[in-house]
Amino acid sequence: MKCIALLGLACAFTATPGFAQEQRFPSQAIQIVVGFTPGGSADTTARIVGDGLSRELGQPVVVVNKPGAGTNIAAQYVSKAPADGYTLLFGGTSLVYSPGLLYPSMKANLARDFTPVGGVVNAPTILIVRQDSPVRDVKQLVTLARSKPRQINYGSTGAGVSPQIAMEMLNARAGIVMTHVPYKGTAPMLTAMLSGDIDVAFDVASSSAPMIQAGKLRGLAVSGGKRLKLFPNIPTIAESGYPGFDVTTWYGLVAPQGTPAGVVQKLNAALQKVLASPQTQKTLADNGNEVMPGSPAAFHAFLQSEHRKWNDAVKQLDINLD
């Protein structure tokens, strides 16, 4: 009887490899996959958070860039990775609406393929033009676009990402049509703007702020519901004649579906410590970002809310990028 009891105890331990995995996590490097080119706001923010996670978890955290298809290439890559917590997606707003709407051929699906780890930042976007542009506010931009249908080029950090959707929302509200020119990240888009290839764009404040402060770009309006502390003199789109306009980009971490709950909790606990760090908060705030602390459950509820909000908006705009 004693042998049977001991055998049963041994079986109980050998039957729970997931528990052992959770206990050992992390025992190797973690990679955070970003769906944009290096140097942009998503990449920069991911590296700030990655450095903090590395300190908290005691393992290297490496940022890997896989740009393209509105971040869907990165999403598909992570969705097929082992569900062990060592491959994470630094996802943004496009994560909640792209599957089945903008890219029907893409197979990654938020609800089916990922488990939320935690929110990272809200990242307000700014409507920007070159400093030498004759356009000084939203009203002048709309007037110019109406006088030159399809002749005003607007850039984005990728077809189907939230800055493009924000611009199409503005087009629809203002009754104008501008021509979309997509790039694979912030750096190439801003280079194109400075060289005159595009005329206007929505860009995340964290990447365009230094160029606005340096006098190379001009901010016309903020896409969110309130002005930025960084640029209190730049009005919102809502204040510029389009009440109710409120579009904010965000970033967060998700893992492949099936990642053990204990691993997700360890990642989230480390993330909360990173986001609570005064130095991290200052670094992010200096670039116009606001931290998004919270549990995996809270981030899951947020994703569901964003899914409903953005799906409705994209359906109304009737955009398909496949």
pLDDT per position as a tens digit, 197-233: 999 999 988 888 889 999 999 999 999 888 988 899 9
> Rounded distance, CA 264 to CA 318, Å?
36
Would you kindly state where each structural domain of the chain is located, as residue ranges? 29-123+249-317, 124-240
SS3 category, 229:
coil
Is residue 195 a contact partner of residue 221, using CB atoms and an 8 Å limit? no
Average pLDDT over residues 296-307: 92
> Rounded distance, CA 6 to CA 29, Å?
36
Q: Which CATH number fits domain 124-240: 3.40.800.10, 3.40.50.280, 3.40.190.10, 3.40.718.10?
A: 3.40.190.10
pLDDT recorded at residue 23: 75
What tens digit of pLDDT does each residue of 169-193 get?
999 999 999 999 998 888 899 999 9
Average pLDDT over residues 245-263: 93
For residue 253, the surrounding DSSP H or E stretch is: strand 248-256
- What global pTM score does this model have? 0.79
Burial (0-12, 13-18, 19+ Cβ within 10 Å), 216: middle
> Rounded distance, CA 253 to CA 299, Å?
9
Average pLDDT over residues 99-123: 76
Q: Is the pLDDT of residue 21 over 70?
A: no
Which of 315, 265, 276 has the alpha carbon at shortest distance from 98?
A: 315
CATH number of this structure's domain 29-123+249-317: 3.40.190.150
What's the pLDDT band for 7 if we cut at 50, 70, 90?
Answer: very low
